[in-house]
Amino acid sequence: MVWDWIPRNRELILGLLAEHLVLSLLPVLAGLVLAVPLGWLANRSPAARAVLIPTAGVLYTIPSLVLFVVLPGILGTQILDPVNVVVALTVYTVALLVRSVADALAAVPSMVVAAATAMGFRPARRFVAVEFPLAVPVLIAGLRVAAVSNISLVSVGALIGVGGLGFLFTDGYQKDFPTEIITGIVLSMLIALLTDALLLTLGRVLTPWHRLAGSRG
């Protein structure tokens, strides 16, 4: 390790770190926003489920590099445009979360939904006030997988020039300079762990009732 390489390249490293965070977490947000209505639809209609869930499964199996290379053709973007990476990772996030959302909504006890309807909740309010909050624990589990998977996938983008910390791998490899590679690995692991811990905490804060279940007192 050439330790003083790190402070000397502080600005480069911090810039790549910020880029890495945006490229991986922006798709998590966008994916969540898209997956909730799709998952709701999949839960509501068996026909929609029969289309959406297998499609999501297939999308997730497309290798990320292929998607990064093919997307510019579909979107009409430049090959080096970061939008390609954001869109590709959004696709993966949606693919992961549609199933999570559908399963989470299906797991809401039917008695609870029936009770809400009988009390006079209209469907939209019932979704916001009852069904969605009860889906949060399963949804958070899905988000944690999506976020960590995105953080590791962003690095692949370095092969097409937009990869956040992944740049440190390609650059370090070309220069045969392990310090740079190890810095990249450690930092991406750190942000993956931190993001995961943050989501876990967020889930706990949002669902105080969930931990208490079963602890009568």
Torsion angles phi and psi, residue 106, rounded to 5: -65, -25
Find all residues with CB under 8 Å of 132, minimum gap 6, and list them: 36
Q: Map tokens 């889906």 to a residue.
A: 135
**Number of residues in contact with another protein, rule: CB under 8 A?**
25
In terms of Cα–Cα distance, which of 73, 119, 81, 90 is closest to 30? 90
Site string for another protein, 168-207 (x = CB under 8 A): ---------------------------------------x
Output the smallest distance, CB 179 to another protein, in A: 49
Residue 146 · residue 92 · CB < 8 Å: yes
213 in contact with another protein (CB under 8 A):
yes
Residues 125-144 that bind another protein (CB under 8 A): 130, 133-134
Output the smallest distance, CB 138 to another protein, in A: 13
Which H/E stretch holds residue 187? helix 178-206
Cα 132 to Cα 37, 92, 101, 106, 200, distances in angstroms: 11, 22, 9, 11, 18
What is the chain's Cα-based Rg? 20
Output the smallest distance, CB 132 to another protein, in A: 10
Applying CB under 8 A, the span of 2-10, 18-26, 44-52, 208-216 interacting with another protein comes to 208-216
Cα–Cα distance, 86 to 153 (Å, whole number): 11
Which H/E stretch holds residue 38? helix 10-44
118 in contact with another protein (CB under 8 A):
yes
Residues 52-111 that bind another protein (CB under 8 A): 109, 111
Using CB under 8 A, pick the residue from 5, 30, 72, 121 that binds another protein.
121
Using CB under 8 A, pick the residue from 70, 114, 186, 197 that binds another protein.
114
Output the smallest distance, CB 121 to another protein, in A: 7
Kindly list the residues in this chain that would bind another protein in the complex (CB under 8 A). Answer: 109, 111-112, 114-122, 130, 133-134, 207-210, 212-217
